[in-house]
Amino acid sequence: MKQDLWKKAVRTEYSAQEGIVKRIQPSLVLAALLATGFTASAAAQELSIPCDDLEEKALAESKADEVERISAFTPATPLKRVDPRYPSQAIRKGREGWVRLSYVIDEEGRVKDPVVEDFFGSPSFKRSALSAVKKWQYNPAIKDGEPTQQCHQAVQMDFAISGKSGATRKFIKAYKDAEERFNAGDVDAADEALKELLAWDTLNRYENTWLLNLESHIASKQGDVEREAQSLTRLLASNGSKRFNNMVFDEDYVAYALQRKIILDAQRGYYAEALKSYTTLQDMEAQETRIGEIAPLISQIEESIASEQNLTVPVTIGSDGNWFHTLVRSKFAFGNIQGELDTVEVRCDTHREKFTVAEAHVWQIPSSWGQCQVMVKGDSETKFDLIEVAKG
């Protein structure tokens, strides 16, 4: 079913991706801005949702007119937030990037079980971000007059050097070489040149974003859906925002990236991600054309979610040993496991649980838990199917 959805959606997309790279190239050539003075900083954006281990029992035992009172909550509020330390070597080299983490706030307002969902830049950014977030303190969330956990915390920590923008002349020369190979049709040679560039330890946010853009086009030519989707996700995380007036690519290109990502996520079975990107696209100005083009695919995704067919997501665990997926159904299972899977943690809006993995088991999530994300831990290169089970 996912293949059919994707094939129909591809017909709505702008046809010549190669032209996009050529169209935006001049702005890179003109942006050889070299900075000498700088300061390091990190910015965090957070999402907060409450979590109560006793909620299902409380709702089941309460009277109908008491449900609203029991369900009321006061979200956790920050007491102390420690900025991540900018690694000194990264500062010296001008390295910029970001780390995206998720975590739980416990009943005492402490951050628990932070995990890195993705990052781009120096690996030292991960260590610094984890060290900082573990020191954060909150007034705990309150539900029914009692402190409670708060799940689905998410934060992106940006490691940026103020006063530093644009691309270096050295980078522009190397990038143009890789792009010329791509435009000449030698995709493998372009990919090798890209990988050499990605190994540089001096890349700033502007350069990161351009490389991720090129990687997405190379992956598209190679038919590597997973790599293209990851590149676009990272591009959007690296691009900056209109609010802070620091966007690398303009809003129209961001809309294109969102549209393309929706198509890829539909093909992969990442329906929650596709719907999230569609919501973001709908909130953008002057994007009615793209919204209209992608709307039929969104309708097909919604029909697929509501259908009586199981939804299968083929997975290969990466080198970090973790895989994350937001569910669109209340039942899921594992199948066709090839390798070792250790645990699955289910983090929902109002509950979380951790289990060992059993291939023959079907997990049933109570509707009161809200939307859930699964975090699977296992050996790298382990393959399996995550099956979102139909209601019937």
Return the HEC string of 192-242.
HHHHHHHCCCCCCHHHHHHHHHHHHHHHHHHCCHHHHHHHHHHHHHHCCCC
Quick one: pLDDT at residue 55? 42
Instruction: For residues 161 and 175, give the distance between their C-alpha atoms in angstroms, rounded to a whole number.
Output: 22
Quick one: pLDDT at residue 41? 63
Domain at 2-35+165-306: CATH code: 1.25.40.10
Quick one: pLDDT at residue 1? 52
The mean pLDDT value for 101-115 works out to 92
pTM, whole model, 2 decimals? 0.84
Q: Band of the pLDDT at 149, cuts 50, 70, 90? A: confident
* The domains spanning 2-35+165-306 and 311-388 adopt the same CATH topology: no
Task: List the structure tokens of 178.
Answer: 């890789």
Q: Band of the pLDDT at 143, cuts 50, 70, 90? A: confident
**Architecture category of domain 311-388 in CATH:** Sandwich (2.60)
Quick one: pLDDT at residue 50? 46
Q: What is the pLDDT of residues 16-67, one digit of tens each?
A: 343 333 333 333 433 333 333 345 565 565 444 444 444 444 334 444 444 3
| Spans of all domains in the chain | 2-35+165-306, 39-162, 311-388
Instruction: For residues 265 and 89, give the distance between their C-alpha atoms in angstroms, rounded to a whole number.
Output: 36
Among 12-21, 325-334, 354-363, 379-388, the minimum mean pLDDT is found in 12-21
Q: Identify the residue with better confidence: 22 or 343.
A: 343
Residue 122, pLDDT above cutoff 70: yes
Domain at 39-162: CATH code: 3.30.2420.10
Quick one: pLDDT at residue 15? 35
Quick one: pLDDT at residue 148? 81
Residue 316, pLDDT above cutoff 60: yes
3-state SS class at 320: coil
